[in-house]
């Protein structure tokens, strides 16, 4: 199965939590599904959400200096000069990911740069890797994005099945959602959907539905006490994913149907 989805939204709405749960659900629903979860938000921690052991620190792809130098022909940290713009990256997902429960985690990391237009060895590798993951692999890719979906370049975004904007009930989500939709449209993402999260009652759903009336809402997920508790305990929620609420599986199934 091939499916590429990106989760965006304001900080704290649940992107990382839901990326991990959706990735695990997809892997659980069909063991044949190969699932790659991408941590593309430097301020979050998808590894912890997936319950992946971090006793050995995970080196983000952007910090694999030797590899970057070898593949691009230029030392990271340098700018200008000559280096290849289409480095080999196809072995990176398998070599540098960590796996648990059928979900492979790949941590992208950040590029210290002087602006969005910067072309340096690190950004070249990340861009090539994103393109490879979205365009060339017959797998499920779930991307936990930073609010601005910066990592998705124009090259690959046209092939993303959907950008899922996670929102919580409340007016503030609207402003953020508009911004993210604009960014998504600008880079050519074709389908942009809203996923309501932390819904506690019918009124919450109505708040989201009415404030987002020009968005297609793919579903609503409830406030889950298990998630709050696991946050307190520092564990991943739903250690046995089969015990997660039906609503999560319903949303996952709708997302799986988006592939074309």
Ligand X SMILES: Nc1ncnc2c1ncn2[C@@H]1O[C@H](COP(=O)(O)OP(=O)(O)O)[C@@H](O)[C@H]1O
Binding site for Mg ion (CB under 5 A): 15-16, 41, 44
- Report how many residues bind ligand X under the rule CB under 6 A: 17
Pattern of binders to ligand X over 79-108, x per CB under 6 A?
------------------------------
Cα–Cα dist 197/170, whole Å: 11
Least distance CB 169 / ligand X (angstroms):
11
If 0-12 CB within 10 Å is exposed, 13-18 middle and 19+ buried, where does residue 45 land? middle
Q: Say if strands 103-107 and 98-100 run parallel, antiparallel, or are unpaired.
A: antiparallel
Could you give the CA distance from residue 130 to residue 156 in angstroms, rounded to a whole number? 7
Which residues fall within 8 angstroms of residue 259, CB to CB, at 6 or more apart? 1, 2, 3, 161
Six-digit token pair at 187? Answer: 């880079």
Binders of ligand X among residues 20 to 59 (CB under 6 A) are: 44
Minimal distance, residue 107 CB to Mg ion, in Å: 12
The residues in 165-204 that bind ligand X, with binding defined as CB under 6 A, are 197-198
Nearer to ligand X, 247 or 258 (CB): 247
Among the listed residues 221, 244, 255, 256, the single contact to ligand X using CB under 6 A:
221
Binding footprint of ligand X on the chain (CB under 6 A): 9, 11-17, 44, 197-198, 221, 223-224, 227-228, 231
């Amino acid at each position: 199965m091939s499916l590429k989805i990106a989760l965006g939204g304001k900080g704290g709405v649940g992107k990382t939590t839901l990326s991990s749960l959706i990735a695990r659900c997809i892997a659980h629903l069909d063991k044949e599904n190969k699932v790659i979860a991408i941590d593309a938000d430097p301020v979050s921690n998808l590894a912890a959400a997936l319950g992946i052991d971090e006793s050995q620190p995970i080196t983000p792809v952007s910090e694999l200096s030797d590899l970057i130098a070898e593949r691009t022909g230029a030392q990271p940290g340098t700018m200008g000069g000559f280096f290849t713009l289409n480095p080999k990256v196809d072995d990176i997902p398998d070599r540098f990911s960590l796996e648990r429960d059928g979900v492979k985690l790949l941590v992208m990391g950040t590029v210290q740069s002087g602006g969005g237009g910067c072309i340096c060895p690190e950004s070249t590798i990340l861009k090539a890797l994103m393109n490879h993951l979205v365009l060339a692999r017959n797998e499920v890719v779930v991307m936990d994005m930073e609010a601005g979906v910066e990592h998705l370049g124009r090259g690959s975004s046209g092939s993303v099945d959907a950008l899922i904007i996670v929102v919580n009930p409340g007016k503030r989500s609207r402003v953020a959602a508009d911004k993210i939709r604009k960014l998504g449209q600008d880079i050519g993402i074709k389908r942009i959907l809203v996923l309501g999260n932390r819904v506690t009652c019918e009124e919450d759903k109505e708040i989201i539905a009415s404030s987002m009336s020009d968005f297609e809402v793919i579903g609503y997920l409830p406030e889950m006490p298990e998630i709050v508790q696991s946050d307190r305990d520092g564990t991943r929620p739903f250690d046995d994913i089969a015990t997660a609420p039906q609503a999560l599986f319903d949303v996952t199934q709708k997302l799986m149907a988006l592939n074309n």
